[in-house]
Amino acid sequence: MENLQGKTAFITGAASGIGLGIAKACARHGMNVVITDARQDALDEAITYFKEKNYPAHTILLDVTDREAYVKAADEAEEVFGNVHVLVNNAGVAAGGGPIHEATFKDWDFIINVNCTGVVNGIAIIVPRILKHGEGGHVVSTSSTGGIFAVTGSGLYNATKYFVAGLMETLACDLEGTGVGASVFCPGPVASNLGMSSQAVRPEHLKNENTSPPRIPKGVRPQRATDWSKHFMTPEEVGERVVRGIKRNDLFIWTHPEFREGIKARNDALLRAIPDEPINEKRAQVLKNFGTLTYNPIYEKQTTPGPLEWKPEEE
C-alpha cells in the first residue's frame, strides 16, 4: 500500500508504547488515526500529541476481547473518518513468566484472550469491511521475535506470538490478489509499558491468588529493567519501521538486526530435523495436489529493506 495519504488506520493498544509509536508514524505519513485502547487514562494522555500537531486522530475505549464493543468501535471509526484501510492488531499483554508447566489457567486464559482472540476479533470484524470498500488496505499484527523462536522463561508469551505469526502468514495468502496486504510484525525489545499495562488491564477474575515475581531464567543477568531499556528501540522508530513495512507490503516486518543468529538457529534446526531419506516420488506427486501444503511461494516475495531513513523529531 504505497500511498497512505488521507487513508485511515485503526490501531489497537495504541495509547502507549509501540501502538502509540505506530499511530504517530501513520499520522506523520498523512493518515487519519483511530487510537483504540482498553485504558481511558492512557488514551487521554496519548491524544495530546495529535492535538498539538493538528493531526486527525480519534480515540475509542476498546477492549479487544469484547466483540460487541469491537463492532461498535469499527462503526464509530467509519462514522468519524469513513472507510478504514489499515488495521493494526497491536494490543498485547504478558503473563505467566517462568516455566510453562508452572503457569496457572488464569495466566493462560488472560494471555490467550488478549494476544490471540483479540487479534482474531480484529481480523473478523475489520478485514471484511476493508475488502468491501475495495480501496485497498493492509493488516499488521504485532507478534514478536519471540513469535519466531523460543525465549526461555516466556513460554506463554511465545506461544501466543507464534499463533499471531502463523495466523498472519496464512492471512497474507488468503488476501493475495485482493489489494489488501498482511504483515507479521516482529519487534525486538522496545521501550514500552508492557509490564505495567498488563497488570492494569487484567480482569479481576483472571488475577492469580498468589503472585510471586516471575523467576529469572538461566542465562539472564538480573538487572534493573530501566538500565536496559535505554538501549531498547524507541516506539517512534519502530512505528516508522511498521509504516515502511506497510508501504513495501512486507510479509515480515523485522526491527532488530541483532536477532539474525536466533532465526538462523531455528531454521537450521528445522532443516536438520528432516529425515535423511530419499523422497517417495509417488507421494511427492500426490502431495502437489494439496495446493501449498509442501511449498508456499508467499515466502519468496520477502525482500530485504535497506537502512531506515528516519530521524527522531524534536518533541
Ligand X SMILES: NC(=O)c1ccc[n+]([C@@H]2O[C@H](COP(=O)([O-])OP(=O)(O)OC[C@H]3O[C@@H](n4cnc5c(N)ncnc54)[C@H](O)[C@@H]3O)[C@@H](O)[C@H]2O)c1
Residues annotated as catalytic (active site), given as ranges: 157
Size of the site for ligand X (CB under 6 A): 31
Select the span of 16-24, 26-34, 241-249, 304-312 touching ligand X (CB under 6 A).
Answer: 16-24
| CB 84, CB 137: distance < 8 Å | yes
Question: 231 to 290, contacts with ligand X by CB under 6 A?
Answer: none
Task: Decide if residue 192 touches ligand X (CB under 6 A).
Answer: yes
Cβ distance to ligand X smaller for residue 118 or 155: 118
Residue found under cell 506461544: 159
Q: Which is nearer to ligand X, 135 or 237 (CB)?
A: 237
Q: Which stretch binds ligand X (CB under 6 A): 11-19, 24-32, 48-56, 103-111?
A: 11-19
The region, left, alpha or beta by phi > 0 then psi within -120 to 50, assigned to residue 151 is: beta
Contact predicate 8/32, CB 8 Å: yes
> How many Å apart are CA 210 and CA 204, to the nearest integer?
13
Residue 12 touches ligand X, criterion: CB under 6 A: yes
Site string for ligand X, 107-126 (x = CB under 6 A): -------x---x--------
**Alpha carbon distance 89, 12 (integer Å):** 6
By C-beta, is 132 or 230 nearer to ligand X?
Answer: 230
CB contact at 8 A, 164 and 205: no
Stretch binding ligand X (CB under 6 A), from 61-69, 242-250, 286-294, 298-306: 61-69
Q: Which is nearer to ligand X, 15 or 175 (CB)?
A: 15
Q: Which three cell numbers stand for residue 58?
A: 480519534
CA 158/CA 148 separation, integer angstroms? 8
Q: Does 63 bind ligand X (CB under 6 A)?
A: yes
Asked whether position 142 contacts ligand X by CB under 6 A, the answer is yes
Q: 96 or 187, CB closer to ligand X? A: 187
**Which one of 31-39, 168-176, 271-279, 283-291 is the stretch in contact with ligand X (CB under 6 A)?**
31-39
77 binds ligand X per the rule CB under 6 A: no
Nearer to ligand X, 19 or 153 (CB): 19
Q: Spell out, one character per residue from 82 to 101, where the chain touches ligand X: x when CB under 6 A holds, - when not.
A: --------xxxx--------
> Would you tell me which residues interact with ligand X (CB under 6 A)?
12-13, 15-19, 37-39, 42, 62-65, 90-93, 114, 118, 142, 144, 187, 189-190, 192-194, 197, 201
